[in-house]
Chain A
Amino acid sequence: SAVISQKPSRDICQRGTSLTIQCQVDSQVTMMFWYRQQPGQSLTLIATANQGSEATYESGFVIDKFPISRPNLTFSTLTVSNMSPEDSSIYLCSVDGTSGSSAGELFFGEGSRLTVL
């Protein structure tokens, strides 16, 4: 299994500002994912964070709005830029278990609950 630490766990931000969310994994992983879960909704993949190259963004998400860093195999950041109230959501970091019984299983951080005023 993988243990994932995310911070901040929650924040309240002003419109127009930016927030960076950090994700730390207790083991080296190839793929890290960033999801968004809006109130009452399921999870939507924002992007896959690739170590050593640019993140791969899903349709509807762009690098200017959600820049991602992946400096090594255990750490990634997601920035929510120029925030608006529509960005209020839970942002979840996730990794794919790659070995043994956890292969193919997604592990999640506890999420970062963002409220934009």
Chain B
Amino acid sequence: RKEVEQDPGPFNVPEGATVAFNCTYSNSASQSFFWYRQDCRKEPKLLMSVYSSGNEDGRFTAQLNRASQYISLLIRDSKLSDSATYLCVVWGGQNFVFGPGTRLSVLP
């Protein structure tokens, strides 16, 4: 089983839609969790950290379920500019482990 798993997609959604991504991790000792965004042919950039209590940043909401070892990202009111690959990243205490990423295409 891979350390971090994601549905690779692609998710093709119309503008204005709400879309949710899921991520599961295998290391129960994992300490920190993140969502990164990677545009085509660009480097990954931090979208948001994921806190135990859940956190929101504008149209983006991240949630963590430690018992189920599950992380989610919800994007509301999708914009064309949200089209990218979303990477779930887990810090296990020694290094960052990247999920395979979920590709999102927001269509006009």
A interface residues, Cβ below 8 angstroms from B: 33, 35, 41-45, 48, 58, 92, 104-106, 108-111
Contact = CB atoms under 8 A, between A and B. Distances in A.
Given A35-B98, A105-B34, A105-B46, 18 more contacts: A33-B96, A41-B100, A42-B87, A42-B98, A43-B98, A45-B95, A45-B96, A58-B95, A92-B44, A104-B32, A104-B91, A106-B34, A106-B44, A108-B45, A109-B43, A110-B42, A110-B43, A111-B43
Interface in B5-59: 32, 34, 36, 42-46, 49
Interface of B: 32, 34, 36, 42-46, 49, 87, 89, 91, 95-101
A43 B6 CA distance: 13
A104 B49 contact: yes
Contacts of A44: 98
Contact of B89 (A48, A106, A111): A106
A44 B97 CA distance: 8
B43 A108 contact: yes
A48 B34 CA distance: 20
